[in-house]
Amino acid sequence: MSLTVLEHPLARHLVTLLRDRSTEPEAFREAARRLATLLVLEASIDLPLEERPVETPLETAVGHRIAAPLVAVAVLRAGLGLLDTVVDLLPGARVGYVGVQRDEETATPREYYTKLPELEGARVFVLEPMLATGGSLSWACHQVREAGGRDVTALCVVSAPEGAARMARDHPDVRIVSATHDRKLDANFYILPGLGDMGDRLFGTR
């Protein structure tokens, strides 16, 4: 498992907006969409390309196109906050969903929905904004593996050391791209300093 943490000034600015408890859902969603752009750019920096000719208004030039099929897998609900940006930037990507809910007492994931497209040979981006204990992301990556996905990158807004350690144990070949890496989990398995429950803050629920 490799962990890449964004160092871009815009990422730090946007993470601060997301952390701020006074940021309302509309502004929170917009900041998440903008931050997702930076995450996608970092996560896709090594996509394979193939050459193709292109006719400019003046002559034929050598162009390029992405050579691998792409899949985005949103971990419900919070992963939806990143999904629109991913498909905007990678319009050819197929989309899958995995639904998992955390048991608030044990912090273990409980599955309630899985729907995945063809994954064989694809670059798969798993969208899990909060990497806390690592249980949900590990479970999601396991579902992707079972369905044939091999080249997997996780996009996270906030990660914690405990979750990164879990992913290193369970999925050592999954790359993680995170906007920030926080201090630790509290007694209730929430990330500190974190930004609260991302799903609730995206959708204005409690």
Active site residues: 102, 106, 197, 200
Question: Residues near 70 by Cβ (< 8 Å), separated by ≥ 6?
Answer: 47, 90, 92, 93, 94, 122, 123, 125
DSSP string, 30-78: HHHHHHHHHHHHHHTTT--EEEEEEE-SSSEEEEEEE-S-EEEEEEETT
CA atoms within 13 A on the CB side of 69: 11
CA distances from 43 to 46, 56, 157 (A): 8, 30, 13
Task: Give the span between the Cα atoms of 8 and 137, in whole angstroms.
Answer: 24
Amino acid at 183: R
